[in-house]
């Protein structure tokens, strides 16, 4: 199973992110509203035995009260992705994410060790970077984080929430 922990926007925040996505109208594949998220820790392929370790964690860190301000749009050229992020990520979120990452890796679970770059992907398969980008400021107060399974089927990519934390 391909798994990751993520912050998933509430309905109002998701709506504002989609408005920003539509205002950009980039030459690429839009990420659908139901798949918008900010990855905290990418675990990759995890077998069913290890999944029970994830769902059995009882001392999982609590998400602190934070306010993210999504006010930065950028691209990852090597991945052909256009994203929405924050100019300043709250220190409490950085510490929380590191605590979650450490807990998972010390528990023997695989985790992506690349530097964390918090963002919400808006477009994939970006062909060209838009000439102009809108000014944006979306305030988001995540209330929980989720363990998500990414499934590729004949109908496309699907996300299934396995647990809310």
Q: What amino acid positions are annotated as catalytic residues?
A: 37, 119
Q: Is the dihedral of CA 108, 110, 115, 116 positive or negative?
A: negative
116 three-state secondary structure:
coil
Report the alpha-carbon angle 45-59-4, nearest 5. Answer: 25
Enclosing H/E stretch for 45: strand 38-45
Q: Is the dihedral of CA 163, 10, 83, 65 positive or negative?
A: negative
Indicate the DSSP class of residue 88: S
Task: Give how far the C-alpha of residue 119 lies from the chain's centroid of Cα atoms, to the nearest Å.
Answer: 6
């Amino acid at each position: 199973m391909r798994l990751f922990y993520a912050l998933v926007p509430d309905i109002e925040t998701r709506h504002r992110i989609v408005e920003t996505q539509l205002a950009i109208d980039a030459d690429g594949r839009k990420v659908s509203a139901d798949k918008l998220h900010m990855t905290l820790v990418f675990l990759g392929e995890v077998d069913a035995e290890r999944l029970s370790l994830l769902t059995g964690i009882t001392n999982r860190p609590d998400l602190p009260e934070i306010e993210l301000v999504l006010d930065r749009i950028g691209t990852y050229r090597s991945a052909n992705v256009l994203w929405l992020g924050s100019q300043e990520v709250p220190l409490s979120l950085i510490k929380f994410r590191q605590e979650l990452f450490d807990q998972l890796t010390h528990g023997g679970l695989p985790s992506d060790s690349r530097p964390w770059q918090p963002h919400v992907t808006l477009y994939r398969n970006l062909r060209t970077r838009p000439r102009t980008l809108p000014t944006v400021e979306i305030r988001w107060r995540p209330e929980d984080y989720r363990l998500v399974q990414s499934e590729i089927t004949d109908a496309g990519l699907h996300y299934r929430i396995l647990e809310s934390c």
